[in-house]
Amino acid sequence: MLIEARRSRLLLVDLQARLFPAMTPSPPGLLSRILLLVRAATLLDIPIVVTRQYPQGLGPLLPELAAVLPDSVRQADKMAFSCCADDDLSPFFEDARDQVLIAGVETHVCVLQTAFDLLARGKSPYVLADACASRSVAHHAQALERLGHDGVRLATVESVVFEWLRGAEHPRFRELARAIRDLPEQGGAA
C-alpha cells in the first residue's frame, strides 16, 4: 500500500492562471504544496505530466509552476475533463509506472474523472487531498469522500514525499524534510 518512487508518476491537472485564483482552500498554501511535489519528483526522477484545460479560455499554466518545471515534463492541452480521454496523454498511462499521484483542480470535476478512469484502467491513482481544490469547499470535500469510498486512495503531500524517500538515510532526505518544514500552515480544510 506504500507509494514507491520507482512506481510513481505525478499528474498536475489544470493549474492555470485564470482558474486557480478561484479555488478554495486559499491558493498560497495550495501552490506551495504543489511546488514541493514538483521539487521532490524532480529530485527523485519521478516523471511529471501537466495538463491545461481549454487554455484559450482558462489561460496558461501558473507562472510560478511553469518556472520550476523541468524540460522533461510532458505538457498537454485538453478539452475533455478526464485526462485519460486525451490521445496525447495515453502513453503516460500505459507504461509500467502504475501509481499515479494526482494534484490539481477542480477536485470534483477533472481530478475525480481522471482518478476513476485511471482506476478503471488498472492503475493505482492517489489523489493528494491537500494539493487539490475546487471553487467550493463542499464540492472538494464531497469529491474526496466519493473518491475514497469508491476505491481511489487519498494521501497528503507530506506523506507522499516521505514514502518516496523511505527513510532518513536517503540522500535527499534533509533537503526535502526542510522544504516540508517550511511549508505554510494548511489551516482547517484540506
Catalytic residue positions, numbered: 14, 78, 110
Please provide residue 139's backbone torsions phi and psi, each rounded to the nearest 5 degrees: -65, -40
The position carrying cell 492517489 is 126
The DSSP call for residue 150 is: T
Measure the CA–CA gap between 118 and 72, rounded to whole angstroms: 22
CA distance 17 to 22: 10
Three-class SS state of 102? strand
Report, in this order, helix, strand and coil percent for the chain, each rounded to 5: 45, 20, 30
Asked if residues 104 and 11 have their Cβ atoms less than 8 Å apart, the reply is yes
Alpha carbon distance 99, 156 (integer Å): 14
Residue 170, strand partner residues: none
- Nearest CA to 155 out of 131, 115, 184, 127 is that of 127
What are 34's three cell numbers? 504543489
